[in-house]
Structure formats: C-alpha cells, structure tokens
Structure 1
Amino acid sequence: MNTMKKRGCQILVLFMTAGMLTGCGDGTPKLEDALKKTASYEMKTVEDPASDALGGEWTVMALARSGEEADENYFEKYRANIEKRVKEQEGVLSENRYTEYSRAVLALKSIGKDPTDIGGYDIEKPLEDFDTVVSQGLNGAIYALLALNADDPDANKDGELEQKYLDYIVEKEKDDGGFSLDDNAENGDVDLTAMTLQCLEMYQDENNVKEVIDKGVEFLADTQDDDGGYTAYGAKSSESISQTVIALSAVGVDCNEDERFQKDGKGLYDTLMTFYQKDGSFKHILDGESDPMATDQAFCAMVAYQRYQNKKNSFFDMTDHR
C-alpha cells in the first residue's frame, strides 16, 4: 500500500482528579499546558473554520468541548460558512458520503446550534436514510449514531432509527473483539474499534453492549505495540493513539493510569505526547512534520481525556453544550 493510500485509509476511518495535571512520563508535557497551547495553535492556523475541510468541524468541536476561550466570533464564522455552503448546494452536502452530514451536525451541536435549521435546511434529516448512511460501511453508521445522540442521548438513544444503527454496529464485531471497515477482514483494526466504542458509550447500561465494550477495550490493550503506540494501515501514527484515548475516556478507562495500557511505566497520553511539537501541533508519524489531521485528532483526544479527569460529559455527549 503506497503512502497516499495509507493516508487515505487514515482519513476514511476517522478522539486522577480535576486538580492534578497529567504527564507521568519523564518530560511529558502536562495535559492542561499542552491543551492550551494546541488550542492557541489551532485558532492561529485555522482562522476561518470551514465545512468539508481539514481544520473545519473537528477543530470547532475540540475547541468548543475544551472550554478554552475562543477568539471573538470564531464559532460564528463556522456557522456562517456551513450555512453558506448549505445554501449554495441547496441543502445537499454530499450525494453519497453522509458522514458529511454527521460531522456538520456534531460541530453545530457542540456550539449549541440547531442543525435542523441551517439556512432553512435540515441537515440532520439525511441521517434518517439508513441505507445511504451504511453504504459507507461501519464508519457511516458510527458517526450517524454519534450525531443523532449528541445533544439528547436519553431521549434519542432508544428511538427506532438509533436502535437500527446500534444493531448494525454491534453485529459487525469480529471474533477478536475488534471492529473493521472491511467486512471480510478476519480481525479488527485499532481505529474502527476505538471509534465504535465512542458511539457505544451511551449504551453501556445494556448488558449485551457492555460486553461488546469490554471486549473492545481488551482488543485495544492486546493490540498495543511494545513501545506503547499502535500500528495501523502499515504505519505507527498518532491518530490511532488519539482515537483510542477518546474511546477509553468515553467508556471510563484512564488511558494513562490503567495498567493494561502502560508500557515501561508510560501510558497512552505519554505516548501520544511523543508526537507533540513545541508550537502545540502534532505529527502524523514520529519522523514526520506537523500535520493538520494529526493535530485535530490529538486536540480532540486531549480534550476527551481532560473531560474524563474532570468528570464532565464525554467528548460526544454534548448535552452540556459549551
């Protein structure tokens, strides 16, 4: 698989007490300090957050969920940009990639905006088209379920549509407890397993789902490399670590303190921070340079972990908005 194809797969499958600052490994930046610097970096490099772009929805979501003070009108810029796009395209963000709708719905809900009325269009309604959503496979179903449940999981999660997505997702479990974008694959992969756990968080009180979550956590522990990272799609990347941190934080597992995820006395947060740059950005691979997607996902992961530490709503549980 060539480099571009590996990178394409990464994009397709795309996040102690409150008074303590994480950073157990020697030289590991403290979570609060690193998060602030990354938030500042993102606002400087993504000055005009737009839909359907790197430095768009994920940047907006991470910043909104972080609680860090955003520049004046930052979130309004995104809302205006998505409204402009929706109007220009007459409400159609994509004919077949419905993750476009899921991502926009999540971003809007993270800033307390109603996705059912954006320039007169309801951009959440396309997620009712189950067949088109799952034509993208597991990835499509995961983000549709996250988007539908984000603002009111207690009211929505037991709905007929949500249960249909849940059943579809749970049925995709592999024998090893993991999940994969490839229905024909024998084994799960790290990124999709982590993403699946993120959307199953809302259903932890259901026995059959709790069992799936527990097996998924064990899969993520068992597939961790000896150096504390993960190899996915032929490369050791920060994005796989970021997705795992978001997942573990969602289901109540401390990614840095749980012994199952510690290697040589360092946890997953410590390992993620080996990709961290002094300016607040993150690298995709250790010998690479700053990367927008890696930075977005690491920002989401840091926010998710901090919210876990502070006993706040999880990253995708947006009932608290901002």
Structure 2
Amino acid sequence: MNRLKQRGLTFLVLLTTAGMMTGCGGSSTPDLEKALAKTAEYEQKTVTSPASDSLGGEWTVIALARSGEKAEDNYFEKYRANLEKKLKEQDGILSENKYTEYSRAVLALCAIGEDPSEIGGYDIQKPLEDYETVVSQGLNGAVFALLALNAQDPQANKDGEVQKKYLDYILEQEKSDGGFSLDDNATEGDVDLTAMTLQCLEPYQEEESVKDTIDRGVEFLVDAQDADGGYTAYGDKSSESVSQTIIALSTYGIDCNEDERFQKDGKGLYDTLMTYYQKDGSFSHTEDGDSDPMATDQAFCAMVAYERCQNKENSFYNMTDHR
C-alpha cells in the first residue's frame, strides 16, 4: 500500500532539547520532560485556535490537557467556543455517519473538565448510543466510542448497556495472531489498530477473557516490532505506529523504554520515537521527513501517556483527574 493510502487510513482511524534519558537509551535521546515542554510550546504556537477537527484541534487539546504543561490563557476556552460555534452552525450535527467526530470531541471536553452532555445546548454523547451507526464505521468507530463513553468515570460507566455492546463487538474482531485490524476482511492484525484497541480495554482488564485479549495484543506488538525498534504499517515505517504503541503500553503500566521485550540494540520505544523528533519540538512521519501535524499530535499524546505512566498517574484516557 502506498504512503498516500496509508496516511488516509491513519487519518480515518484518528479521527488522533537535548539531554539524557534515564534508562537504556543512547546519549542522543532527548530528555522526556524537556522534549514534552518543547512539543507543548510548539503545538500552541502552531495550533493557535484549536478547532473541532482531527488536525489542528482536539488531539492537541487532549494531549495538552492531559499533560502537566502550562496552557496559554484561554486556550481551552477557545476550543470550547469553536466547538459551540460549529455545533450551532450545523444544528448540533458533527457528522451524519462518521461518529468518531463525536468521540473525539467528547474526549476533548472530558480532558478539560467540561460536560459533553451540555455543550452549546447539545448533548454530543448521545449519538454514541447509536450502536449501529457507530459500528458501521468499523472497529475504530467502536474503539473511540468506548473510550469516549468511559472517559469521565470508567468504573462507573463501563458496565452501561451500550458500552457492553461495544466491548463484545470489539472482542469479536480479534485476529488469530492476537492483533486487530481496520480491515474486517484481513486475516492478520495491524499495529495501529491493535494499539488503539488495547487502549479502550483498560476498564475491563480485571475480566479474565479481556485480560487474555490484552496479553495477546501486547505480544502481537512485541512480535510486530522491527529489528531496529520501529514499526512498519501498510509498507511504511512511521512515528505514528510507535506513538500508538507507547500509549497502549503506558495504559497498563508497561514502561516502553525499560521493558526488555521492546528493546532493540540498546534502545527502547521512547528512544525510537525520538528519532523522529525535530529541534522545534515537532515530529516527522518518517525519520528523514519534515515536521508533520498528525505525527506531532500523536507523539505529543504518546509522550504525555508515557510521563503519566512513569508518574503512576491515571492513564491517558482515564480522565477522572481532568484539568
């Protein structure tokens, strides 16, 4: 599959300073705390008025809100105002059939401590109760709906009727190799969807069958890793696949840089991600590429998830400790 198709699939799914890194990484790996601060600064300079969109919008808001970095004055208020404006202009409809638009907006609102059931006079969680429309988008639709519906209080919300339907649907999509795929007809899993699926299963990890699914998914990510520590998806080695894997591992308290299963040639996954890091705090899609907004958003999320894991804080999508 060529790069254009690969970027298209990644877009669909998503809807989303030098120093020494403690651990196995080499001396050229930027320090997490310093790199995170630099990326937060870059994101706010380039996304000055965050919109309700998968680029230049919600993923930047979510990552910044879930980080400990300072947000510029009224940054989150700008996002809320832009979302309200869009809802009013479109009579409360973010999309007729791509309900990841609602999931992403719900996650952003939960991250900044706003109520998604009352935003500009609209309840944007309500469309996520439409199971048939959500799953018509495929596995990624169900994954992000489950993340969104559980974000405010996973333990209180996880056993809702529609949540259980999404969970059952997701578990049924597992491939024989333990992975998950955006392609229903695929016989093998792919890295990005497997990592994203693992992220939404966190509230159910005490259930034996789900725990087994998570364990198989992690092993899939181990086996799928390239010899140089990176990941290849759709024929292209990219930072986005590394980022999603870091978020998944951090969800379960697995140190992506210290866990020996993910170390290659003395490097962990954080070290690998930082080979895509640019001096201005942005990230590239490929190692020799230029700054890329999608890659930067996903790497920002990954760094925040990893820092939260190291600090033993709530996972990236458990927003009971929202801003």
**CA deviation vs aligned residue, 1:178-224 (integer Å, no higher than 9, x gap):** 00011111100000000000000111111000000000000000010
Q: In the alignment, what sits opposite 2:241?
A: 240
Q: In the alignment, what sits opposite 1:194?
A: 195
Q: In 2, distance between residues paired with 1:305 and 1:22?
A: 14
Mark the CA change 1:258 to 1:53 in structure 2 (over 3 Å): closer, same or farther. Answer: closer
Q: In the alignment, what sits opposite 1:119?
A: 120
Q: In 2, distance between residues paired with 1:265 and 1:23?
A: 6
Mark the CA change 1:185 to 1:12 in structure 2 (over 3 Å): closer, same or farther. Answer: same
Secondary structure at the aligned position of 2:201 is classed as helix
Asked if structure 2 preserves the Cα contact closer than 8 Å seen for 1:228 and 1:271, the reply is yes
Where in structure 2 are the equivalents of 1:52-71 lying within 5 Å? 52-71=53-72
Q: In the alignment, what sits opposite 1:5?
A: 5
Secondary structure at the aligned position of 1:13 is classed as helix
Where in structure 2 are the equivalents of 1:122-271 lying within 5 Å? 122-271=123-272
Q: In the alignment, what sits opposite 2:85?
A: 84
Q: In 1, distance between residues paired with 2:191 and 2:53?
A: 25
Q: In the alignment, what sits opposite 1:98?
A: 99
**CA deviation vs aligned residue, 1:48-68 (integer Å, no higher than 9, x gap):** 000124120000000000021
Asked if structure 1 preserves the Cα contact closer than 8 Å seen for 2:199 and 2:251, the reply is yes
Larger relative CO (CA 8 A, sep 6+): 1 or 2?
Answer: 1
**CA deviation vs aligned residue, 1:230-275 (integer Å, no higher than 9, x gap):** 0001100000000000000002211100111000110000000000
The Cα shift of 1:21 comes to: 5.2
Q: In 1, distance between residues paired with 2:86 and 2:275?
A: 37
> Superposition RMSD on alpha carbons, in Å?
1.2
Q: In 2, distance between residues paired with 1:240 and 1:203?
A: 24
The Cα shift of 1:23 comes to: 7.3
Q: In 1, distance between residues paired with 2:224 and 2:2?
A: 23
Q: Which runs of 5+ in 2 are unaligned?
A: none
**CA deviation vs aligned residue, 1:60-101 (integer Å, no higher than 9, x gap):** 000000021100000000000000000110010000000000
The Cα shift of 1:25 comes to: 2.0
Q: Name the count of aligned residue pairs.
A: 318
The Cα shift of 1:26 comes to: 2.3
Asked if structure 2 preserves the Cα contact closer than 8 Å seen for 1:22 and 1:31, the reply is no
Mark the CA change 1:201 to 1:184 in structure 2 (over 3 Å): closer, same or farther. Answer: same
Q: In 2, distance between residues paired with 1:305 and 1:298?
A: 10
Q: In 2, distance between residues paired with 1:21 and 1:316?
A: 25
| TM-score of the pair, normalised by structure 2 | 0.97
Q: Letter of the aligned partner of 1:306 in structure 2?
A: E
Q: In the alignment, what sits opposite 1:28?
A: 29
Asked if structure 2 preserves the Cα contact closer than 8 Å seen for 1:61 and 1:110, the reply is yes
Secondary structure at the aligned position of 2:306 is classed as helix
| TM-score of the pair, normalised by structure 1 | 0.97
Q: In the alignment, what sits opposite 1:41?
A: 42
Asked if structure 1 preserves the Cα contact closer than 8 Å seen for 2:2 and 2:235, the reply is no
Q: In 2, distance between residues paired with 1:174 and 1:2?
A: 24
Asked if structure 2 preserves the Cα contact closer than 8 Å seen for 1:23 and 1:269, the reply is no
The Cα shift of 1:5 comes to: 1.6
Q: In the alignment, what sits opposite 2:307?
A: 306
Q: In 1, distance between residues paired with 2:28 and 2:82?
A: 40
The Cα shift of 1:2 comes to: 3.4
Q: In 1, distance between residues paired with 2:233 and 2:27?
A: 26
Secondary structure at the aligned position of 2:53 is classed as coil
Mark the CA change 1:42 to 1:186 in structure 2 (over 3 Å): closer, same or farther. Answer: same
The ranges of structure 1 where at least 4 consecutive aligned residues each deviate by more than 4 angstroms after the TM superposition are: 20-23
Range 166-175 or range 21-30, more displaced: 21-30
Secondary structure at the aligned position of 2:298 is classed as helix
Q: In 2, distance between residues paired with 1:3 and 1:270?
A: 24
Q: Give percent identity, aligned residues only.
A: 76
Q: Letter of the aligned partner of 1:275 in structure 2?
A: Y
Q: In 2, distance between residues paired with 1:272 and 1:22?
A: 15
